[in-house]
Amino acid sequence: MNRGTKTMGALAGAFVIAVGLGACSSASTSSPADTWKVGLEAPLTGDQATLGQGMLQGALLAADEVNKAGGVAGKNVEIVQIDDAADAATGVAAANTAIANDLNGVIGPYNSSVGSQTLPLYEKAGLVPMRLTSDNSTEGMGFTLQPMTSQIAPVTATALYGFYGAKSVAILYDSTQNYTVSTSAAVKKDLEKVGVKVTSYQAITPGQSSYATQLQAAQAQKPDMIYSAVYYPEGATIATEITPRKAGSTNYRCLLDYASYDNGYIQDAGASVAPRCDVVGVPAPADFPDSAAKVTAFQDMFSAPPGTWSPYTYDSLNLLLAGVKENNGWDAAQLTSYLGSVSEWQGWTGSVSLDADTGNREPATVVVTSVSDGAFHVDSDWAKAVGAPY
């Protein structure tokens, strides 16, 4: 899937040059012998560039702190940019280039449809990926701090019928992405299991200028809620075009999937439109306990607040490097053994324990968020209803 050519890489690229952590779109051959090369695969350009740049910056912050503290196993860490543009073919080409230039480790990718193609390449090259994919088809390929479909879908379905009280739900989903296809199907199954009527189940194609026709068809069935398993560019369009229950009402009966959870949704929709839909997600960077110092360090470095996934790439790199330090190198078997035994490791995103068989985080935190004051916040009513500590 080609999501366009919009890019936000200039600032990040300039910063990388300034601090000497690498500034290429794939791996560089100019790194000194005393440098470890860690790839960051993400949609650094295209419609999901806001998300990808936040991932990159989280990794850059972690690498900068590690290098200032003396590096790892006698070497500094260089972040190598691997731009997949949320497209599998683009990702495969970029991953192969990075691997050919002596990559030591990799963080990412984010999109599961890309990861299903690039993660096997990294593993074949002897790397242990710290992925940010959420589709369960990618489990077992490295390790992740992200929630998976099997962890996200139950929270989504329970929110729809338990929190919002929906007895009928219309579903729109992106038919081109592994994650959105599998998650929408899982949510549909969970809803029907408890007797919720799924009034429509419509596939959409991403990158369209309007989804008014699909929304009108969904709303014509008068569902209690509309749930959209789409990425944030499409989520923003849906929020813009969805109509309230009654003329003059602000109730838009809209829940967006985890795939829409990124600051890019708020930027694309606008501060006045974004609150129309709640979004399944994770705690915002400043919501994690004891996160103030990390948020401040990020803002000092980039003159901007952290991206949605900055804490996850920050923790992913630090945890991977903890394994490198423990084993004095990048041996895949040793790293796999180390990461598979991680229990209650403490990072920006809280306590991390990893399942050795799947590589998944257990348990994973999934929340319902609302947009207010131009930012995501854990929905306080939802948190109260489920006893979440946010």
- pLDDT at res. 5: 33
Whole-angstrom CA distances from 80 to 28, 41, 77, 103 are 7, 8, 10, 8
What does the pLDDT read at residue 32?
Answer: 55
Give me the domains of the chain, ranges plus CATH numbers: 9-146+288-352 (3.40.50.2300), 149-281+367-386 (3.40.50.2300)
Q: Per-10-residue mean pLDDT for the chain, 390 residues long?
A: 34 35 38 85 96 98 98 96 98 98 97 97 98 97 97 98 98 96 98 98 97 97 97 97 86 95 96 96 93 98 96 98 97 98 97 97 96 93 91
Determine the 3-state secondary structure of 294 from DSSP. helix
User: How far is 140 from 375, CA to CA, in rounded Å?
Assistant: 34
In sign, the C-alpha dihedral spanning 169, 245, 215, 366 is negative
Stated pTM of the model: 0.89
Q: Closest Cα to residue 64, out of 56, 76, 54, 50?
A: 76
CA pair distance 171, 229, nearest whole angstrom: 8
The pLDDT of residue 33: 73
